[in-house]
Amino acid sequence: GEEVAQTPKHLVRGEGQKAKLYCAPIKGHSYVFWYQQVLKNEFKFLISFQNENVFDETGMPKERFSAKCLPNSPCSLEIQATKLEDSAVYFCASSPDGGVEQFFGPGTRLTVL
């Protein structure tokens, strides 16, 4: 598609439950990025992929967060055992190559109760 698609738009989980977010990058784009926005103004990089390979995972909390980008499937970001502090908007972005314009999806708002 011509836009980055993210599902679901909203996700509500009880503390300790699992959350799984999906991202379909723009067709032909080889890089995918995940960012977390907390407190409305603060963006944090989580992880990036070059095709199905992890490119940079320096922002990922190792214990509970995992992500995948498999061929012919949407990319996914999974949080095991969610905590209150995971409440945030999660944005996915894709780019046709490294170091060029990133195209952002509409985000998934995760609320952990």
Partner 1 sequence: GIQVEQSPPDLILQEGANSTLRCNFSDSVNNLQWFHQNPWGQLINLFYIPSGTKQNGRLSATTVATERYSLLYISSSQTTDSGVYFCAVPSTSGTYKYIFGTGTRLKVLA
Interacting residue ranges for partner 1, rule: CB under 8 A:
31, 33, 35, 40-43, 45, 48, 55-56, 58-59, 89, 91, 93, 95, 98-104, 106-107, 109
> CB of 110 within 8 A of CB of 98?
no
Q: Closer to partner 1 at the Cβ: 37 or 66?
A: 37
Q: Which helix (H) or strand (E) holds 19?
A: strand 19-24
Handedness of CA 103, 59, 72, 91 (dihedral sign): negative
**Token pair recorded at residue 112:** 């952990």
Q: Closer to partner 1 at the Cβ: 58 or 72?
A: 58
Closest separation between CB of residue 15 and partner 1, Å? 23
DSSP structural state of residue 96: S
Q: Closer to partner 1 at the Cβ: 2 or 72?
A: 2
